[in-house]
Structures are given as structure tokens and as C-alpha cells.
Amino acid sequence: MIKRSLQNSFVIIFLFFVITLFPFNVFSGEPVITSDYIQLINSFKTEKAIYSSPIATFNNNVVVGSHDKYIYFFNSKGKLITKHKTDGWVHASPSILSDSSVAIGSYDGYIYFFNQKGELKEKFKPNCGSMFTSIIELSNRLLVFGTNRKGVIFFNREDSTTHIHPIKKWVHGTPNIIDNDKLVIGSNDKHLYIFDHHAKLLSKIKTKGWIMHSAPVPVDTNKFAVGSYDKNLYICDTDGSKVSSFKTKGRIHGTPLKLKDSKIVFGSFDRFIYFLKPDGTLLKKHKTQKKVVSSPVSLPDETVVVGSYDKYLYFFSPEGNLLGKYKTKGKIFATPIVLGDNTIVVCTTNGYVEFLKVNSMMALGE
């Protein structure tokens, strides 16, 4: 009996050291990226989850919102410059406007306007409900965004007037401009809406699922790609017709990325990261350990970076080959950004903002 107890104790101690010294990644066969390629410059902890995707200003400051109701400004090294308290969750992502100001909405119903140093210049309340999406600016300076008031909002900053295009459900899709003059935005009513720059509805495209956060991305002349909660990535024409679709086994929340050679990259709730050929057919896919909510981004050397709910950033060559992965401090919902000095800024659902200095990844694929 004593001998068996000693054997069991030895097994437990052995397993403890195996798990501690040899993490799961060693046995999964996936390369973990070392400090030779990525160094943590700085990290900052907010008080609540971050679902807002950070942006970089023209002077390389970083702006992001948090569910702790604050809007944060950091310098490129991750040092906090300032923060501003709102009266609601800051779920929306910030935007840079044509006058270089930073605009971001809050669940308190206000749009906040800052200069690039983080100084609040003004705020407006369009009385259009809680703001979910980033703001996009049309050529005539109309600001467009979605809210829980069941409509696409066109806000004129010059005279503070608002035009609402009514929709039967919340508008949680991210707006984008296609072909320089058409605005496309998705909604929880399962439609994509296409407007001209005067807020006139041109056409709409029906899908079978919500359009949540995914922004339409130009992929060819008059064509764009967008993800849906019906598990499809759609290629559509700006005249209002669907060209093709690629079916996954999970919802698509993030915005697809078009590479220089016209391949399309995106993630799905089915845990896969997909690389599609320019014709929309599958090139490669890679399975992560959790759902992929975040959108892909690329480094200057064309390395593709995608975050997952398994807390890892995945790094791929443009051909879709996995170069390695790096573990962050939490689940990744928001889309990372890449600064001019090859620093990646990634935010997590447990409130961290991490600044990672990245060396060239291409040697990993050789």
C-alpha cells in the first residue's frame, strides 16, 4: 500500500514538472515565438474588458476604449498619456477624421472628439442611442455609424443635424467606403445596406445572419468581402448582388483582410483561420484552440497576424504557412494594430493593452 502511494506521488510530481516545463504547445507541434522575435515593451491594465479595437494617430499615439467607461491615449512605447471618463461602456472603436481629430462613441450616447494629444475638444449627443460601431466620415463630412436605435445614423457635425435611415434591428456592423463613393454597412436584420454619399439608399443585400462588427472590404473593382453570422464570407457587388460565398462551420465576426496578391484572410467561430485564393476558394486553413473573433492584420513584411480567444497571436506567411504563435495576457476580441516601428498593439478581454516589438518573422518560415 505504501509502495503504491509512493508510486502515485511520483507520477503526480512528474506530471507537474512536465506541464510546468513543457507547455501544451510543445506537444501540439506549433512553434512558440521566442523573445528573439517578439519583446513585450509594455502592458497596461484597464479595469474592464476591451472590445474596442485600437487605432494609431498621425503622431503614432494609440487610442482605445474600454468597458470601464474610459477612453485611453498611449504613446508608441505603451506609456499612458491621458484617459477620459465617459458615462457608458466604450465598446466602439475610435476613428481618425479628415481634420486629424479622433472621434469615438460611447454607450452614454455621446460622440467624443479629441486632438491627437488626447485633449477633449468637444462632444455631441445625437440622441441616437448607444453607439456600437466605429465612425466613418464621408466626403461631405457626414459622420456615419450604427446604434441600438434601429437605424444607420448620418450626423452632420457642422450643424449638429441627424438623419436616420430606419432599420428594424440594431446596427452593429462596421461601416466602410467602397469604390470611393459608396458606403456599405451591415445590420442585425441580416442585410447589407449600400448608400451614396448623400445618405440615399442605393440597394441592400440579404444574408441569413447578423452582420456583427465585420466591415466590408474592397477586393476588386465594384466588389467587397464581408463576414456574416450565417457562417458565410460573402463577395458582393456594389450594385447589390452577391457574387459568391465561402461557407465555414462558425459565425464570422471579424473583418476580412485582402493581401497584396488578392488572397483573403479571415477567422471564424469554428476556430479556424482561413486563407482564400483570389477567386474565393480555399487555399489553406489553420485550427486554433478557441473561436476567432478578431480580424487579421499584416506587418510591413507581409506577415499576417491573427488573434484568437485561446489568447494567442498567430503569425503566418502570405502563403498561409504558420510561422509561430505568441501568448498574450488574455482572450483576443479586438483587432490589433501595427505601428510604424513594427510594434503590435493587442488588447484583451481581461483589460490588458500590450505593446509588442516584432522583428521580421520571415526567417521562421525558411
Q: Say if residue 2's pLDDT is above 60.
A: no
> What pLDDT, in 10s, does the model give residues 273-315?
999 999 999 999 999 999 999 999 999 999 999 999 999 999 9
Average pLDDT over residues 212-233: 96
Q: Which residues, other chains included, contact 45 with Cβ-Cβ below 8 Å and sequence gap of 6+?
A: 351, 352, 353
**Across all residues in the chain, what is the average pLDDT?**
91
Task: Say if 58 falls within a structural domain.
Answer: no
Task: Say if 106 falls within a structural domain.
Answer: no
pLDDT exceeding 90 applies to what percent of the chain? 81
The pLDDT, as a whole number, for residue 204 is 96
Task: Say if 2 falls within a structural domain.
Answer: yes
Higher-scoring residue by pLDDT: 351, 28: 351
For 276, the enclosing helix (H) or strand (E) is strand 272-276
Of the listed ranges 76-90, 155-169, 261-275, the least confidently predicted one is 155-169
- Quick one: three-class SS letters along 139-157? CCCEEEEEECCCEEEEEEC
pLDDT band (50, 70, 90) for residue 13: very low
Task: Say if 73 falls within a structural domain.
Answer: no
> What pLDDT, in 10s, does the model give residues 157-200?
888 899 999 999 999 999 999 988 899 999 999 999 999 999 99
Task: Say if 13 falls within a structural domain.
Answer: yes
Q: Range of 25's domain?
A: 1-30
Contact status, residue 121 vs residue 155, Cβ threshold 8 Å: no
Domain count, the chain: 1
| CB-count exposure of residue 366 (10 Å: 0-12, 13-18, 19+) | exposed
| CB-count exposure of residue 333 (10 Å: 0-12, 13-18, 19+) | buried
> What pLDDT, in 10s, does the model give residues 91-116?
999 999 999 999 999 999 999 999 99
Helix (H, G, I), strand (E, B) or coil at 232: strand
In Å, what is the CA distance from 195 to each residue of 98, 153, 234, 239?
A: 20, 12, 18, 10
